[in-house]
A and B are shown apart, each in its own frame.
Chain A
Amino acid sequence: MKRYEVLNCLLCNSPLDEGVTWKTLLSNRFPRTICLHCEEKFEPCETESRESLISLYKYNDDMKGYLHRYKFMHDVLLAKVFRHQIQQQLSKKKEIIVPIPMHHAKLKERTFAHIDELLNEANIPYVHYLKKITTETQAGKTREERLNAPQIFALKENQDPGNKEFILVDDIYTTGTTINQAKRILLDAGAKSVKAFTLIRG
C-alpha cells in the first residue's frame, strides 16, 4: 500500500501535511486520511462494560454527514476514514467476522457493499454467513415497526455456524433490530456466541 496515497483530507479537502517521523516509518499504522480538525468532530462512544456490543462513535451531525456521503452519495473512498480504528478493534479478535449482508438487488443499485468495503480497507478478513432476503430497509420505519419486523435474513447455503464464535459488523446500531435478527439466525443454527461491532451508535 502506498503511504501517501491520500494528499488532502477526504472530508474537507484541506491539505494533509503529515511529516515523516520514525513512528510513521516503523509502525504499521495506516496513514492519515482526514485532518485533525475533522477527526475532532466525531464523538467517540464510550463502550459500556457490556461486551456483546462495541460501537466506536456517536451519531452526531458530522457522523450523519459522513454516513450520507459514504452510503448514499456512494463515495467509496470514504471507507478508508475509519480503517485504523476498525483495525484496532477487530484485528486481534479470534471470532469469525460476519458483516451484515446486503440484498443483491440493493447491491447492484449501490454498486458496493459498504460494510465489506470498511473491512477490506482495514485488512480484516471476513466470511459471509448470512444473506438478506428482503429489499426493505430499516430507515424510514418507526421503532414499533422495526421491532415487530419479520425475519430479514437467512443462513447462507453450505455454511455451518455450529459451535463457532462470531462478531457481527454493521455501520449503525439504532434499535438493534438488524443485529438481533442476525444474531437469532446464527444462534438458532448452533453458534456458540455472537457479539456485535458497529461503527456508530445511534
Chain B
Amino acid sequence: MILKLSKGNKPLSYKGIIIEPQIRDFFAGRIWTHNNTPFPQSKINYYTLRNYFTKKPGISILTKNHIFYRQHLICNRCQNENQQEFIIYNCAKCEKECVYCRHCINMGRVTSCTELITWNGPQPHMHKKHVLDWNGTFTNAQNEAAKQLTNSIKHRRNHLVHAVCGAGKTEILFPAVLYALNRELRVCIATPRTDVVLELFPRFQKVFPNTNLHALYGNSPQQTGFPQLVLSTTHQLFRFEDAFDVVIVDEADAFPYTFDQALEKAVYKVKKDGAPIALVTATPSPQILARMKKESWGYSFIPKRYHGHPLPVPRYQALWSYDKTIQKGRIPRKLLKWTITKLSNKEPFLIFFPTIQLMQLAIPLFQQLNANIVSVHAEDADRKEKVMKLRNEQIPGLLTTTILERGITIKNVQVAVVGAESKIFTSSALIQISGRVGRNVALPKGDIVFFHHGITAEMDEACNEILRLNKEGFGKNETL
C-alpha cells in the first residue's frame, strides 16, 4: 500500500529537499536557458541534478521523410522555422559547427549547444478567492458578449470577440477572466503591442486586487510570486511553454502578430493541450473570420460603441502632391486650414503621416504655427510622456506615424491622415485610426479626415466597413 500524503491522486513524492517557492513560482510554465537564469547557477544545477528540470536542446532538427531531404531546423524557444534566420558558426566551446537562432536573439542567444529547461516539479498552488472590484455597468451588447465569452471558456472552445473601436472590449474580458481564475485556471492576456500591455496593466491591477498579476514586456522589471494572471506582449510568450489554461489575444490583428508566424505559433505553444484561445479585435482579418467559421468558434459581435453613438465616418479631402509641397517647406493649404481651425477651437489633434521622413520634414513647419506641437514615432523614447501630455492638454497636437493607431484614448481628439493612399494605411489601420475619434460619452462626435493623393480601394474598404458597422448597430436611417 502506498501511503497517501497529499489530497490529490499522486502520492507526495519526497525527493530529499524542500523546494524553494521562488524557484517553483518562477519556473512553473516557463522555458528558460540553462545558463542564464535570474538565480545563482549553483542552485539551478542542484535542482537539475535532482530531476526537477526537463532539459531539451535549444535547436532541434526536424527530420522529414522526403527524397530531397534538407536539414530543417526549429528553435525550441521561439518556434521559428524560417531557415534564413538560423546561422551556422564555428563554436569555440564545442569546437565544432553550431547553429543559433537570430529570431529571438534579443532574449539572449539560443544555440544548438544551449540547453533549455522546463520545470517538472510540483506546481504552485492557485487560490480561488479572486474578486472583481469593478462597479461599471455593461450595455446589453457588452453583457451578451461577456456571457458568450465566459461560456466558451467554460466549454473550452475558441472564441472571437469582434467589437468596434470604443465598444469597451477590455471590460468584456473581466467576467471571463474572473470565472477562469476562480476555477484555478491560469490565464494569459497577450497583445502584440507593449503600449497596450502598459495601458491594461494598471486597469487589471485595480479591478483584480486579490490576484498576483505580472506584466511582461521587453525589459520589464522582475516581479515576484506566482502570477496566475499574466499580461504579456506576444514576444514574451516565447519564454513560456504549456503554461496557461486560457489564452486571450487582444488586438489580434496588430502588427507584428499577423506578420510573424512564429508569434502565432507561440500562442499555441504556451497554452496547455485543449486550452481555449480567445481573440479580441476590432478588425478581424478574413483569415481569422474564415477560421472561426470553419472550426466553429464562439463568436460575439458588437457593432455599437458603449456610449451608443455611431462611429464617426471619415471624409475624404484631396491633397494633391502633399509630399512635394511639404518638401518645398509649406504645409498644404487644406491641411493648414484644418490645423488652424483645431488650434483655434482648442481641440487636441493627431495627424498621421505615412513615413517618419515626411513627418520629420513637416514638424518644423507645424511648430511655426504652435511651438508646442511635437512628433512621435516607434523609436521615440518619450512616446508615453508625449501621449500623456496630449491627454492632459499640455500640448495642442501630435504628429505621429501608425504607431499610435490603436490602444490610445484621448478625449475629444480630432484626427487627420495625411497621405491616406499610402501602402502602410491598410483598411484595418484606417479603421483603427478612425476609431480614435469620439470615444467619450460627452463628446461622441469628432472629425476624421483622410487627406489623400488619390483614393485607394483600402480607403473605400475602411469607409464601407465603418458604414456597415453603423448600419448593423443602428439600422439604416441613422447611419448618415
Residues of A with Cβ closer than 8 Å to B?
Answer: 7, 69, 73-77, 107-113
Given the known A-B contacts A73-B106, A74-B109, A75-B109, are A113 and B100 also in contact in the complex, defined by CB atoms under 8 Å?
no
| A108 lies within 8 A of B92 (CB) | yes
* B100:A107 contact, CB within 8 angstroms: no
B10 within 8 Å of A (CB atoms): no
CB distance from A75 to the nearest CB of B (A): 6
Q: Whole-angstrom distance between the alpha carbons of A113 and B102 in the complex?
A: 19
CB distance from A105 to the nearest CB of B (A): 11
B108 in the interface (beta carbon within 8 A)? yes
**B403 located at the interface, meaning its Cβ lies under 8 Å from any Cβ of chain A in the complex:** no
Q: How far is the CB of B103 from chain A (nearest CB, A)?
A: 10
Are A77 and B108 interface neighbours, CB within 8 A? no
User: Contact at A76–B108, with CB atoms within 8 Å?
Assistant: no
Interface residues on chain B, number (Cβ under 8 Å)? 15
Bound complex: CA A75 to CA B89 (Å): 10
A107 to B100 Cα, complex, angstroms = 17
CB of B91 closer than 8 Å to a CB of A: yes
Min CB distance A81 to B, Å, is 13
A110–B89 alpha-carbon span in the complex (Å): 12
Give the interface centre of B108, B109, B111 by most chain A CB atoms within 10 Å. B109
Contacts of B91 in A (CB 8 A): 111-112
Q: How far is the CA of A25 from the CA of B363 in the complex (A)?
A: 42
6 contacts between A and B (CB under 8 A): A73-B105, A73-B106, A77-B102, A111-B92, A111-B111, A112-B92
Q: Once the chains bind, are A76 and B92 in contact (CB under 8 Å)?
A: no
Q: Is the CB of A73 within 8 A of B92?
A: no
Q: A138 vs B246: C-alpha distance in the bound complex, in angstroms?
A: 49
Closest Cβ of chain A to B90, distance in Å, is: 7
Q: How far, in angstroms, from A26 to B93 measured CA to CA in the complex?
A: 39
List the B residue with the shortest CB-CB distance to A110.
Answer: B92
* A-side contacts of B90, CB under 8 Å: 112
The distance in angstroms between the C-alpha atoms of A75 and B92, with both chains bound, is 14
Q: How far is the CA of A113 from the CA of B108 in the complex (A)?
A: 18
The residue of chain B having its C-beta at the shortest distance from the C-beta of A120 within the complex is B90
Contacts of B93 in A (CB 8 A): 108-109, 111
Q: Digitize B74-101: 1 where CB-to-A-CB distance is under 8 Å, 0 elsewhere.
A: 0000000000100101111100001010
Question: Which residues of the other chain, B, contact A73 by a CB distance below 8 angstroms?
Answer: 105-106, 108-109
A109 to chain B, nearest CB (A): 8
| Contact for A76 among B84, B89, B106, CB less than 8 A | B89
Q: Which residue of A lies closest to B94 (CB)?
A: A111
Which chain B positions have C-beta within 8 A of A110? 92
Q: Are A77 and B84 in contact (CB under 8 A)?
A: no
Chain B's nearest CB lies how many Å from the CB of A162? 30
Q: Is the CB of A75 within 8 A of B111?
A: no
Contact indicator A107/B109 (Cβ below 8 Å): no
Measured in the bound complex, the distance between the Cα atoms of B340 and A10 in whole Å is 43
Q: Give the complex CA separation of A108 and B91 in angstroms.
A: 8
Task: Determine how close the nearest CB of chain B comes to the CB of A2; give it in whole angstroms.
Answer: 12
Q: How far is the CA of A77 from the CA of B108 in the complex (A)?
A: 15
What is the minimal beta-carbon distance from B93 to any residue of chain A, in angstroms?
A: 5
Residues of chain B with a CB closer than 8 A to A69's CB: 105
Nearest CB in chain B: distance from A97 CB, A: 19
- A-chain residues with CB within 8 Å of residue B111 when the two chains form the complex: 111
- Nearest CB in chain A to that of B91: its residue: A111
Chain B residues whose C-beta falls within 8 Å of the C-beta of A111 in the assembled complex: 89, 91-93, 98, 111
Q: How far is the CA of A16 from the CA of B93 in the complex (A)?
A: 33
B84 contact set on A, CB distance < 8 A: 7
